[in-house]
Amino acid sequence: MDTPDYRRSQILQLLKSSKQPISGKHLSDKFNVSRQIIVKDISILKSHNHTIHSTSRGYVIEYETQGKHFKRIIKCQHTQEQMEEELTIILDNGAMVDDVSIEHPLYGTIKKDLMIESHEDLHQFIQQMEKYQGKMLANLTDGLHLHTISAHTEKILDNAVRDLNEHHYIVKD
């Protein structure tokens, strides 16, 4: 019988050896435990100073190696109904959505890694939002939020920002 410590060490090894996010469902199936046990295991690993990040595609360790070389932080605002269009514009230009964050007046910065790199990733993210009746993090700030987007070139980022601006998603300071 495997102990929780052994399972956690195995989870850590899997995350370290994977170049892609690993879903909680995959881990729960692999170790024949509930999803809640995996969430607890990940929390315990984090408490031991392991840099595990939860993304829309699963868990990753040391995610800074992910994303693309050129990065830009953009300030956007829109409604829940416009979220998919905003993210699609970014992807259509060849950029990736690394994360979303808000500046909450009480809690400060709240940030969530997304790592949405393809239309398939976006489709899965939207499905999860619908399945769990999820709300945008930006709902806490009247739709105002930041995205880190990344791409292989600055020109791709310029084009994504231009198109987002044309659709009135970019907020000017």
Domain range annotation of the chain: 4-61, 70-167
CATH class of 4-61: mainly alpha
Inter-residue contact 95 to 149 (CB < 8 Å): yes
Binding site for Ni(2+): which residues?
Answer: 78, 86, 145, 147
Which pLDDT score, from 0 to 100, does residue 1 have?
A: 57
- The annotation places the binding site at 78, 86, 145, 147
Q: Does the pLDDT of residue 110 top 70, yes or no?
A: yes
So what's the pLDDT on residue 18? 87
Quick one: pLDDT band at residue 19, thresholds 50, 70, 90?
Answer: confident
Alpha carbon of residue 12 to chain centroid: 19
21 or 94, which is more confident: 94
Share of the chain above pLDDT 90, in %: 72
Beta bridge partners of 73: 148
Q: Residue 65: its pLDDT value, please?
A: 46
pLDDT for the residue 152: 94
pLDDT averaged over the chain? 91
pLDDT at 97 (0 to 100): 96
Q: How far is it, in rounded angstroms, from Cα 107 to Cα 115?
A: 23
Q: Pick 66 or 144 by higher pLDDT.
A: 144
Query: pLDDT class for 51, splitting at 50, 70, 90?
Result: confident
Query: Per-residue pLDDT averaged across 126-143, rounded?
Result: 93
CATH architecture, range 70-167: 2-Layer Sandwich (3.30)
Residues 8-37: b if buried by 16+ CB within 10 A, e if exposed: beebbebbeeeeebbbbeebbeebebeeeb
Mean pLDDT, range 104-114, rounded to an integer:
89
Q: How confident is the model at residue 47 (pLDDT cuts 50, 70, 90)?
A: confident
